[in-house]
Amino acid sequence: MISHVAETAGLSKVQAQEAVNAVLNGISKTLQAGEPVRLLGFGSFTAKERAARKGRNPATGKAIDIPAKTLAKFKASKELTESLN
């Protein structure tokens, strides 16, 4: 990814890495704030809450509590999906 950005944008690899890291950090911080991230023509990221639930340890069969957590979800845009098929 870094090499592609460097070549396409005419940047050094260090500059490309800084740019990619800035975008990824921006996505992370926006999701942490509970806001969706939409990249037109690519897709959207959202933060999704997963409730606490009961589970089983497959090795022992003992019941365990699985804590609630927040997951990042990605939905590809129609354009991205069509370009893959």
Residue 76 is predicted with a pLDDT of 96
* Structural fold of domain 36-85: HU Protein; Chain A (4.10.520)
pLDDT band at 77 (very low <50, low <70, confident <90, very high): very high
Average pLDDT of 55-74? Answer: 94
What are the residue boundaries of the structural domains of the chain, listed by start? 1-35, 36-85
What are the tens digits of pLDDT across the range 26-58? Answer: 999 999 999 999 999 999 999 999 999 999 999
Q: What is the share, in percent, of the chain residues with pLDDT greater than 90?
A: 99
DSSP annotation string for the chain: -HHHHHHHHT--HHHHHHHHHHHHHHHHHHHHTT--EEETTTEEEEEEEE--EEEE-TTT--EEEEPPEEEEEEEE-HHHHHHH-
